[in-house]
Structure 1
Amino acid sequence: MLKSNSLAHGLICALLVFGSFAASANNREIEVDNQVVTEHKTTIKGKRVSYSATTGTQPVWDEEGKAVASLFYTYYQRTDVKEQEKRPLIMSFNGGPGSASVWMHVAYTGPRTLRIDEEGYPVQPYGVQTNPYSILDVADIVFINPVNTGYSRVLKDEEGKLPSKEKQKEMFFGVNADVKYLAEWLNTFVSRHNRWPSPKYLIGESYGTTRVSGLALELQNSQWMYLNGVVLVSPTDIGIERNGPVKSANRLPYFAATAWHHNKLEPELQKLDLDELLPQVEEFTLNKLLPALAKGAFISPEEKAEITATMARYSGLSEKAIEQNNLDVSTAFFWKELLRDEGKTLGRLDSRYLGIDEKESGDRPDYWAELTSWLHSFTPAINHYIKHELKYETDLKYNMFGPVHPWDRSDNNTGKNLRQAMAQNPYLNVMIQSGYYDGATNYFDGKYNMWHIDPSGKMRDRFSFKGYRSGHMMYLRRADLEASNEDLREFIKASLPAEGVPAQYPR
């Protein structure tokens, strides 16, 4: 009888567990706090590396200590080294806002990378392969998905209700709310994984550069966590104004790089290497074009004709097209116009990619050719990789882009905050990485940011800029995957002070 009761009890428990799983699956509810650890080996720069991958969720708590959201993360830790506390920790974010941390995770710094061709285009079968250039040999990495991206979600309250849209925006979906809750989350992560002694770095891509610029100061001032480096990949404006003539003029170097790539420049310019061409265009942009645009309608006819001719020469566009746009050529028009006579449009985030519109007329492309290509390869790869290699099982949908809008962009002082963090912390260095063919966050805007983060110039030796012959996600091109990871590796090594060197300014 006892045996029968035990069997019945076991069956009831099993049914309860299954019922709980089924209910969770039906509701697609996130597990608030869990993790799965797997062990792996890979080869980086010709050397064998052993590492663990911890995939899971960690709560976001409100001021009363209640879990209000849970963030999905993947943490890679090298396991075949001694003195783990000396290993740098890289905390990685993508952008959007509303984008998962998939892009840099399985295409840039992680130990596995997409199966794509040498230039970054999709190939089948979809999946991932070894990343022989990953920085995991020199640093551990955690990839964090902010609320509503990846598997991260807002949690229901005790009554089973989600916070109102306005409340969610207040808690998570804005420049400053985003920075505040993520800093708290990182404090918990660092404590749980015993990484307080480690040198720490933030890397953000696109809107992620706004995020990490703000986090640099928030971590110092609210969490007492100091960094060695911040890496800005394809940076946004980070709150630094670039309106009017500056915004218009700064596009020209990107136009020139893209026209050069598509062989649309005159032979004298086309025969130059890109590294020879761009300094010419940058010099003209700063010293000729910017002052000309500042004169507006009162520019002299002679100067306007000279500027128009030079812009046409460097952009690959006709003088007529430039005149019709009053010297202020938008990126959308450029994407449509440059290859109009060939019936092709250019990609926004990477202008090496080509699209085909329904009509050749018009002043902007029908769609972004690069984004459809990337989603083509990234989406199946990340879904398969997480479940089958990292063994993390859930019925939640992996949000490549999640519902986070409307996003509160007010009071964006993240660039100034980054400067303040650097001033307070003599160890803190900044590197900017940009693709020359990125039309959304163009490389010259990235340089402009670097010049204006610290107007005093007293910290200019702590900034560096690296450019690549690809677009927004420059690492998709195989040659730039190797180069950009090596630049990261060198940045990390260079920003690690020698033992005993104090964080202070010399007299």
Structure 2
Amino acid sequence: MRLALPALLLASVSLTFPVFAADKSPSDAKTPDARTAEASPVKDGVIKEGPASLLPADSVTHHRLTADGREIAYTAHAGTLLLRDDQGKPGAKVFYIAYTMDGAKPGTRPVSFFFNGGPGAGSAYLNLGAAGPKTLRFPADDPTDGANAKLVDNPDSWLPATDMVFIDAVGTGYSRPVDEENAAKAYYSVKKDAAAFAKVIQMWIGANGREASPHYLVGESYGGIRSIQVADALQEQQNLIVNGIVMISPAIEMGFLDSTDNPLGAALTLPSFIAAHLDETHQLTPAAIDAAYSYALGPYLTTIANARPQGDAAKRFYAEVAEKTGIPENVVAKEGAMLDPMAHDVRSRDGRLHGLYDFTQTIADPYPDGIDNSNSPEMTLSGFGRAYGNAFTGYVGNDLGFRTALTYDLLSMKVNGAWKYADEGPFPTRQIPVLRKLLALDPALHVFVANGYFDMACPFGTTRWTRDHIPVGADRIGIHLYPGGHMLYARPASRAALWHDVQGFYAAARGTETH
């Protein structure tokens, strides 16, 4: 599975986190309990060893922000919450930043819980990219230049509409498991991740007296899957029914994101290829996008799902796909028109390499003569997107007073590589049945989905297909498309448009003003 970026996770109310004894010879005279205590990084109930022990005390600071045409006073709380296993032993310290508007009524003020995706991504992307009081601004003349990105006040912060709690999943950002050897078993799977997130959210709500507040979940990328699973875990395990879910560039069904020998996956990806070409030729309109989707799910899908065309029929078909996407006809033919957005020859053109996460962004192709797909660089995750990590470290330490020797793990490949998409049942775990259940059980649940036109990692076609196949509550799922890619908020105009639409979503869901 491709790493479906930004945009995160835990399991049941009782989180199991086994502690194993040290490796001793049979002749060792110590009892099993003594050996276990000796091996444990926890002594007398306090975390004494390992990365989790390096996390400092919470820091509370006060700030002001001009947003939505007014000055807002708010409090930032950067700190950790301690997850324990079903025996009460420390399992992980989970890092979060909470932004709360000063003077607001906690009983009516919405609170939203943010997490990114990956799996393995920290919450810095959504915090400094979309909704937090600060945003990372990339140079207008070259948005792929991460070295010259600057942290500035965010005029499109969501703070006027909702208090915000950004949470790093265990093993990402500053969140650390107590026992790293056994963290994968305890936390790195769809269900266990969702349960841990649900518990962290319940703990924060209880500690801050926010039970009566309207509650929302905001997830990006794999965070789409996480938001569905966390909503279900909150309801089943913590007795908390959320008011709404916001998904940004979501992965919902992982099977849709693989176009290899998958006609439906290829068809749902094609409109994003077409959208990028429409943008390049200055023809991008909602009507053109509707036509692209109809073509992809109609003539295109019918053709690729049947026997591969031959002769003149094949030439006509490949020429048609090439014309609609701007991808050379010989490449389309080589791929059998089932275009793999990760393939180097699909992304490489005229000495430029197009981005998986925004197909309209390009860098100079370091391998214009071709290279194995797995070695073809991607400018978002490996390039300019890394600037979020350094900016976040400075912001949290200097502005919020939370200083630690730990490196902020923006993208943990260790977590991603260990991830289990199915604890039991079908692989990967399916989300549409869970979403269908939530919409049927909770008639007040509303879902807001934001997609970038040019996102090839989580194409907007997958969201549209999902919404169109929901039998109950589809009218409560709003799909919003913006110029941009996976991190659509990196474009200032799209970030502003997203905030405008999200503000309306919060107001409509509450049936009243949110401030």
For the superposition of Structure 1 and Structure 2, which TM-score range results when normalised by the shorter chain?
A: 0.7 to 0.9
Q: Which has the larger radius of gyration?
A: 1
Please say if 1:418 is aligned against 2:435.
yes
Quick one: which of 333, 346, 360 aligns to 1:352? 360
Code of the aligned partner of 2:249: S
In 1: Cα distance, 2:91 partner to 2:284 partner: 53
In the alignment, structure 1 residue 245 sits paired with structure 2 residue 259: no
Output the amino acid matched with 1:461. D
Contact 1:347 1:369 in 2 (8 A): yes
Please give the alpha-carbon distance, in whole angstroms, between the structure 2 residues aligned to 1:206 and 1:276: 26
Deviation at 1:240, TM superposition (A): 6.0
> Could you tell me how far apart the structure 2 residues matched to 1:358 and 1:272 are?
30
1:351 maps to amino acid = F
Correspondences of 1:398-409 after superposition (within 5 Å): 398-402=408-412, 403-404=414-415, 405-409=417-421
- Secondary structure of 1:108's match? helix
- 1:357/1:271 Cα in 2 relative to 1: closer, same or farther (>3 Å)? closer
Deviations along 1:12-52, one digit per CA (max 9) or x if unpaired, are xxxxxxxxxxxx99964436784211000010022110000
* Matched residue SS, 1:371: coil
Q: Could you tell me which residue of structure 1 aligns to residue 29 of structure 2?
A: none
Counterpart of 1:316 in structure 2 is 326
In structure 1, the partner of 2:477 is 463
C-alpha change, 1:46 and 1:433, in structure 2 (3 Å) is: same
Output the CA distance in 2 between the equivalents of 1:414 and 1:276.
Answer: 29
Percent identity, aligned pairs only? 26
- Superposed CA deviations along residues 237-279 of structure 1, whole A, max 9, x for unmatched, are 3356576210112222111122233x3xxxxxx3533334222
1:21 aligns with none
> Secondary structure, in 3 states, of the residue corresponding to 1:57?
strand
Q: Decide whether aligned partners of structure 1 residues 191 and 129 sit closer, same or farther in structure 2, where only a CA change above 3 A counts.
A: same
Q: Is the 8 A contact 2:194 2:233 kept in 1?
A: yes
Distance 1:498 1:476, change over 3 A: closer
Residue pair 2:257, 2:457 contacting (<8 A) in 1 also: no
TM-score when scaled to structure 2? 0.83
Report the secondary structure of 1:282's partner residue.
Answer: helix
Distance 1:29 1:232, change over 3 A: closer
Judged with a 3 Å threshold, the aligned counterparts in structure 2 of structure 1 residues 464 and 325 are, in CA distance, closer, same or farther, namely same
| Residue of structure 1 equivalent to 2:275 | 257
Name the aligned partner's letter for residue 296 of structure 1: A
Match of 2:168 in 1: 145
- Pair 203,385 (structure 1): closer, same or farther in 2 beyond 3 Å: same
Q: What one-letter code is carried by the residue in structure 2 that aligns with 1:407? A: W
Q: Indicate which of 110, 129, 154 corresponds to 2:152.
A: 129
> In the alignment, is the contact (CA less than 8 A) between 1:337 and 1:345 conserved in 2?
no
CA 1:380–1:283 in 2, change beyond 3 Å: closer, same or farther? Answer: same
**Please, which of 118, 125, 146 is the counterpart of residue 103 of structure 1?**
125
Determine the structure 2 residue equivalent to 1:87: 109
Alpha-carbon spacing, 1:80–1:230, altered in 2? closer, same or farther (3 Å):
same
CA pair 204-320 structure 1, distance change in 2 beyond 3 A: same
**1:489 maps to which residue?**
503
Mapped to 1, the partners of 2:254 and 2:361 lie a distance apart of: 29
Q: Residue 171 in 1 paired to residue 186 in 2?
A: yes
Q: Which of 349-358 and 394-403 deviates more?
A: 349-358
CA contact (8 A) 1:475 1:481 kept: yes
Task: Find the aligned partners of 2:166 and 2:484 in 1 and give their Cα distance.
Answer: 23
Which blocks of at least 5 consecutive residues in structure 1 are unaligned? 1-23, 156-161, 264-269, 500-507
Deviation at 1:235, TM superposition (A): 1.2
C-alpha distance in 1 between matches for 2:490 and 2:512: 34
- The 3-state SS of whatever aligns with 1:100 is coil
The equivalent of 2:387 in structure 1 is: 377
Question: Structure 1 residue aligned with 2:135, among 92, 113, 116?
Answer: 113
Aligned equivalents of 2:376, 2:335: Cα separation in 1: 20
Post-superposition offset of 1:424? 1.0
Corresponding letter in the other structure for 2:418: P
Note closer, same or farther for the CA distance 1:313–1:123 as it changes in structure 2 (3 Å cut): closer
The alpha-carbon distance between structure 1 residues 254 and 88, as it changes in their structure 2 partners (threshold 3 A), is same
Q: Say if 2:389 and 2:409, in contact at 8 Å, map to a contact too.
A: no
The structure-2 alpha-carbon separation of the partners of 1:143 and 1:304, relative to structure 1 and needing over 3 Å to count, comes to: same
For residues 114-142 of structure 1, the C-alpha deviation after alignment (integer angstroms, 9 at most, x for no partner) is: 13234744466654211111110110000
CA distance in 2, matches of 1:498, 1:123: 40
Q: Which runs of 5+ in 2 are unaligned?
A: 1-46
Instruction: Select which of 351, 362, 371 maps to 2:370.
Output: 362
What code does the residue aligned with 1:448 have? W
> Cα distance, 1:283 vs. partner?
1.4
Separation (CA, whole Å) in 1 of partners of 2:253 and 2:210: 28
Distance in 1, Cα, partners of 2:186 & 2:386: 33
RMSD: 2.4
Asked if structure 1 preserves the Cα contact closer than 8 Å seen for 2:450 and 2:480, the reply is yes
- AA partner of residue 165 (structure 2): V
In structure 2, what is the equivalent of residue 10 of structure 1? Answer: none
**What residue identity is the alignment partner of 1:204?**
G
Conserved in 1, the CA contact under 8 Å of 2:348 and 2:365?
A: no
CA deviations over 1:334-392 (Å, ceiling 9, x no partner): x534652x211111112232223333122647201223443353122111100000011
More displaced stretch, 109-118 vs 91-100:
109-118
TM-score, normalised by the number of residues in structure 1: 0.84
The reply to whether residue 274 of structure 1 matches residue 282 of structure 2 is no
Determine which of 455, 462, 477 is the counterpart of 1:438.
455
Q: 1:376 to 1:241 in 2, by over 3 A?
A: closer
Contact 2:56 2:402 in 1 (8 A): no
Report the alpha carbon displacement of residue 306 of structure 1 after superposing the two structures with TM.
3.9
Q: What residue is the counterpart of 2:40 in the other structure?
A: none
**Superposed CA offset, 1:293-337 (max 9, x none):** 11123x57565444323211101123333222222221123x534
Say if 1:77 and 1:293 are closer, same or farther in 2 by CA, change over 3 A.
Answer: same
Describe the shift of the 1:466–1:302 C-alpha distance in structure 2 as closer, same or farther (beyond 3 A). Answer: same
